[in-house]
Amino acid sequence: MATNTNTVRLHRVLRAPPERIYRAFTQPGAFERWLPPFGYTGKVHAMEPVVGGVWRMSFTNFGTGHSHSFGGKYLELVPHTRIAYDASFDDPNLPGTMKTTVSLTAVSCGTDVSIVQEGIPAVIPAEMCYLGWQESLVSLAQLVEPNIPG
């Protein structure tokens, strides 16, 4: 049976404790700061980080002003260890529900971060999604790695 969705897997080690990375996924201001790929701004419209809670946000192309919105619910939240959430796009041309699972493991120099995003609509090339995530993870590192006193 042919699949009509894509999956991307990402792995990074960040120089930050798991607690800080977990907060970056569960605080609205942080999430909209790092998740949008380069060239986009992000806006969180709702975020209730509890199992079953909803989240909703939009990305806006800074060059064209075109926006797309998406959201879903939290499926699993294990503080500083694991986050799983689903998401679907408002655009009917991007059908289905995606699932993102984030695993955080403390290591000697920071945190091992593993991300799996499944169910990406087939009309979105996997390599474009992967590229977007790579850009997002650069922004995540820039947010969580600085150890600023006070």
pLDDT tens digits along 84-121:
999 999 999 888 999 999 999 999 999 999 999 999 99
CB neighbours of 60 closer than 8 A, spacing ≥ 6? 40, 41, 42, 43, 66, 67
For the segment(s) 5-144, the CATH number from 3.30.70.150, 3.30.530.20, 1.10.20.60, 3.90.1570.10 is 3.30.530.20
Average pLDDT, the chain: 95
Predicted confidence (pLDDT) per residue in 8-67, tens digit: 999 999 999 999 999 999 999 999 999 999 999 999 999 999 999 999 999 999 999 999
- State the DSSP H helix or E strand holding residue 108, giving kind and residue range, or none if neither: none
pTM of the model: 0.94
Angle at 82 between CA 81 and CA 86, to 5 degrees: 165
- What pLDDT is stored for residue 44 in this prediction? 98
Predicted confidence (pLDDT) per residue in 118-135, tens digit: 999 999 999 999 999 999
- What pLDDT is stored for residue 6 in this prediction? 93
pLDDT band at 2 (very low <50, low <70, confident <90, very high): very low
